[in-house]
Amino acid sequence: QVQLVESGGGSVQAGGSLRLSCRVSASTSSAICLGWFRQGPGKEREGVALIDGMLRNTEYANSVKGRFTISEDKNTLYLQMSGLKVEDTAMYYCAADRSARCRITDTASFPTFRYWGQGTQVTVSS
């Protein structure tokens, strides 16, 4: 069982920055895949970024490349968000899985995660 607790959401103007944190009840420097997802109003949940706890590889959805950075340190997962846009408004969730192949597929699909946090809201205004 892995427990995850997000924090750091809030309201920001377009162009601003926020850093989300996710406390993980397991070692983030191990054979574990960690990810950030989001669900905007009226939209389906979508993957944002992945990090492989062992290999340290990171991958990003095309919509956030160059603006968001995923990292982990001492059992905390982070998502540094810069250049925020109104369309980044969403509930953001962190997720973990010990068995997932920690890669985005050629069809831009994210792996399936077993463990999820409760979410933290990010609102970007124009």
- Rounded distance between C-alpha atoms, residue 109 and residue 63, angstroms: 13
Task: Give per-residue pLDDT as tens, 47-102.
Answer: 999 999 999 999 999 999 999 999 999 999 999 999 999 999 999 999 999 988 99
In which element (H, E) is residue 80 found?
A: strand 76-81
